[in-house]
């Protein structure tokens, strides 16, 4: 159990991070350089610009797809599950359980409103970029609300052999002028210039029943920074793109294709520089010929000058075949990276007629390959984030406190969405195959259309309340249609005769 300062914990774990940080900077240089710049980078530094933009395009595209899959707009990414069996065993009727489920839907909508209001999607998009490139990111959800992302060069983490978090330490740079009175008292007179930058260290240590959080400046503890959180309510959430057994940090997606990235960068650089050299126009004049170089340089366009055409030649590289080999290699590498980063240009085959169904099937096949990533992010990002957001809203009295033994959040996006997509595909294939084999009439006779609509809406994640008609509404419309058909067939005289007959017929009391 660690009892030292946050600064000592940070420096103790800093040495284990170096190899991951160096690898992340290599990947960042080939994709988006500002995500993980070199050490010592500041606002006055200059970033290197890569010669190709495939890496940046792939990272942005994959990050956007992951964001839409993990936090879909206008739909909750989790569901509050209620233990129906336990409530039924306690004697709760079905009406009470139904009312609880309706109230839980309102809680889900309140949490999603909080996610939209506090711009969680903007911060998580930044975190996903870091996960793809650097493989690691730290999400901080403070008690005041909102979210902040710590980059890999600003935090350290240590895990046990099972992958559970033991220690997290962060490093922040803050100006002396921005310190509170309490922090200035802790710092003392060592830094009184408003332009001096100080390092604030934060430590998160796991205890038996929770997390201890504290901060210090210059090795001195800040008294008001001490806090304690339950195990499932940790405001610091370290993320990994991929889980490697025995390692404290994850590996980025770009690192898995670093060889293709480096090859594409070198070949593109060679093509660009060679094309620039080939584009240069240079005339050579025979020094022993009759044509003078000054005459050639000073003559305007269309002028008539004395000289011999054989004395003048144009410098050519004659490297077309070499450039062609490099260009074909670049096209092959781009095709592989397009499949890896789910780019549409890398999915669609080069043909005259490519159907929309073919594009959809290929895209679904590639997205299904990310099922392992969805599983990891749902466990390490979505579920802890839901628990933390609900805790923050409980402290603000914006949500009621829910019993943990009866109600638990369940993630319904990511892998669950992929499973529903496969169910939808199988459902449509079954219905289309049945119609082709036995015909649409027999299919309509044996298939429950209402149940089909319900399952299809569930697979697409669409709420059916108010959208699909109930059985009572269908029967009422059919009865009304029959009455209208009867009115049209009988005409006014027939309707009057039936009405007179009903009026003249004696009632039960008269009989």
Residue 1 belongs to some domain of the structure: no
Q: Which residue has the higher pLDDT, 462 or 15?
A: 15
If asked whether residues 155 and 292 sit together in one domain, one would say no
Which range, 284-288, 457-461, 507-511, is most confident? 284-288
Per-residue pLDDT at 195? 62
Claim to verify: residue 154 and residue 271 sit in the same structural domain: no
The Cα 137–Cα 158 span in angstroms is 14
In a domain, 456, yes or no: no
Residue 128 domain-assigned (yes or no): yes
Residue 450: the pLDDT is 75
The answer to whether the CB of 365 falls within 8 A of the CB of 348 is no
In a domain, 458, yes or no: no
237 and 91 belong to one structural domain: yes
What is the extent of the structural domain holding 208? 6-255+371-393
Read out DSSP for 39-93? TT--TT--PPPPS--HHHHHHHHHHHHHHHHHS-TTS-SEEEEE-HHHHHHTT--
Average pLDDT of the segment spanning 464-471: 69
Q: Is residue 457 part of a domain?
A: no
| pTM confidence score | 0.77
Mean pLDDT of the chain, nearest integer: 81
pLDDT band at residue 263 using 50, 70 and 90 as cut-offs: very high
- Residue 128: band (very low, low, confident or very high) from pLDDT cuts 50, 70, 90: very high
Start-end of H helices in 227-355: 253-256, 258-278, 293-298, 320-340, 344-347
CB distance 258 to 144 below 8 Å: no
Domain-embedded: residue 152: yes
Of 46-55, 356-365, 411-420, give the range with the top mean pLDDT.
46-55
Residues 275, 131 share a domain:
no
Is the confidence at residue 489, as pLDDT, over 60?
yes
Q: pLDDT-derived band of residue 250, with 50, 70 and 90 as boundaries?
A: very high
Q: DSSP of 78-116, one letter per residue?
A: EEEEE-HHHHHHTT--HHHHHHHHHHHHHHHHHHHHHHH
In a shared domain, residues 111 and 206: yes
Lowest mean pLDDT among 284-293, 389-398, 472-481: 472-481
Q: Residue 206: in which H helix or E strand, if any?
A: strand 197-206
Whether residue 115 is contained in a domain is answered as yes
> Is residue 208 domain-shared with residue 270, that is, in the same domain?
no
State mean pLDDT over 343-353.
Answer: 57
More confident of the two residues 475 and 203: 203
> Which pLDDT belongs to residue 150?
95
426 vs 338, which has greater pLDDT?
A: 338
Domain count, the chain: 2
Residue 204 and residue 352 in one domain: no
Q: How confident is the model at residue 511 (pLDDT cuts 50, 70, 90)?
A: very low
Tens of pLDDT along 290-334? 888 888 888 888 888 888 888 888 888 888 888 899 999 999 999
Both 237 and 192 in a single domain?
Answer: yes
| Cα–Cα separations (whole angstroms), residue 379 to 149, 241, 245, 413 | 18, 12, 16, 12
179 with 274, same domain: the answer is no
Q: Which of the four pLDDT bands, split at 50, 70 and 90, describes residue 363?
A: low
Q: Are residues 339 and 327 in the same domain?
A: yes
The pLDDT value recorded for residue 123 is: 92
Task: Summarize the chain as % helix, strand, coil (round to 5).
Answer: 55, 15, 30
pLDDT of residue 270: 92
More confident residue, 302 or 166: 166
State what percent of residues in the chain have pLDDT above 90: 28
234 neighbors 209 (Cβ within 8 angstroms): no
For residue 509, tell me if it sits in a domain.
Answer: no
Band of pLDDT at residue 136, cut at 50, 70 and 90: very high
Higher pLDDT, 361 or 170: 170
Distances, alpha carbon 425 to alpha carbons 110, 413, 429, 456, in Å: 32, 17, 6, 10
d(CA 232, CA 229): 8
pLDDT category of residue 71 using cuts at 50, 70 and 90: confident
- pLDDT of 168 reads 95
Are residues 201 and 222 located together in one domain of the fold?
yes
Residues 234 and 353 reside in one and the same domain: no
Order of all β-strands in the sheet with 136-140: 148-150, 136-140, 236-240
pLDDT tops 70 at residue 366: no
Tell me the pLDDT band of 16, cut-offs 50, 70 and 90: very high
- 60 pLDDT exceeds 70? yes
Residues ≥6 apart with Cβ < 8 Å to 473: none
SS3 for 401-419 is CCCCCCEEEEECCCHHHHH
d(CA 404, CA 86): 13
């Amino acid at each position: 159990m660690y009892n030292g300062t946050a600064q000592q914990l940070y420096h103790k774990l800093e040495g284990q991070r170096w190899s991951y940080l160096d690898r992340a900077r290599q990947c960042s240089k080939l994709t988006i350089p500002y995500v993980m710049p070199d050490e010592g980078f500041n606002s006055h530094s200059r970033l290197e610009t890569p010669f190709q933009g495939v890496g940046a395009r792939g990272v942005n595209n994959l990050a956007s797809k992951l964001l839409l899959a993990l936090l879909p707009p206008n739909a909750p990414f989790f569901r509050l599950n209620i233990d129906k069996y336990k409530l039924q065993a306690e004697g709760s009727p079905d009406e009470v359980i139904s009312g609880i489920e309706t109230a839980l839907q309102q809680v889900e909508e309140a949490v999603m409103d909080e996610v939209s209001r506090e711009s969680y999607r903007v911060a998580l998009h930044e975190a996903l970029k870091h996960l793809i490139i650097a493989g690691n990111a730290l999400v901080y959800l403070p008690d005041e609300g909102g979210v902040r992302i710590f980059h890999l060069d600003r935090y350290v983490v240590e895990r046990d052999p099972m992958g559970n978090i033991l220690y997290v330490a962060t490093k922040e740079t803050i100006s002396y002028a921005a310190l509170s009175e309490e922090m200035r008292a802790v710092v003392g007179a060592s830094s009184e210039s408003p332009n001096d930058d100080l390092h604030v260290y934060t430590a998160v240590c796991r205890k038996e029943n929770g997390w201890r959080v504290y901060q210090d400046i210059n090795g001195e503890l800040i008294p008001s920074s001490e806090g304690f959180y339950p195990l499932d309510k940790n405001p610091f959430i370290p993320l990994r793109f991929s889980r490697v057994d025995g390692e404290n940090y994850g590996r980025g997606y770009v690192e898995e294709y670093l060889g293709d990235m480096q090859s594409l960068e070198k070949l593109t650089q060679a093509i660009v520089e060679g094309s620039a050299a080939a584009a240069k126009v240079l005339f050579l004049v025979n020094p022993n010929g009759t044509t003078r170089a000054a005459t050639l340089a000073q003559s305007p366009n269309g002028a008539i000058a004395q000289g011999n055409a054989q004395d003048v030649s144009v410098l050519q590289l004659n490297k077309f075949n070499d450039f062609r080999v490099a260009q074909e290699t670049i096209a092959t590498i781009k095709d592989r990276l397009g499949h890896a980063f789910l780019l549409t240009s890398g999915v669609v085959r080069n043909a005259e007629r490519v159907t929309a169904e073919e594009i959809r099937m290929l895209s679904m096949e590639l997205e299904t390959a990310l099922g392992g990533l969805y599983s990891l992010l749902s466990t390490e990002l979505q579920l802890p984030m839901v628990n933390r957001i609900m805790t923050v809203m409980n402290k603000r009295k914006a949500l009621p406190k829910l019993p943990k033994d009866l109600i638990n959040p369940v993630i319904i996006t990511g892998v669950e969405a992929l499973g529903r997509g496969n169910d939808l595909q199988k459902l449509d294939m079954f219905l289309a195959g049945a119609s082709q084999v036995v015909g649409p009439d027999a299919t309509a006779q044996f298939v429950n259309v209402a149940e089909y609509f319900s399952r299809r809406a569930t697979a697409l994640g669409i709420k059916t309340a108010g959208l699909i008609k109930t059985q009572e509404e269908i029967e009422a419309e059919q009865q009304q249609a029959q009455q209208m058909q009867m009115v049209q067939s009988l005409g006014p005289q027939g309707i009057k005769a039936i009405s007179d007959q009903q009026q003249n017929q004696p009632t039960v009391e008269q009989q």
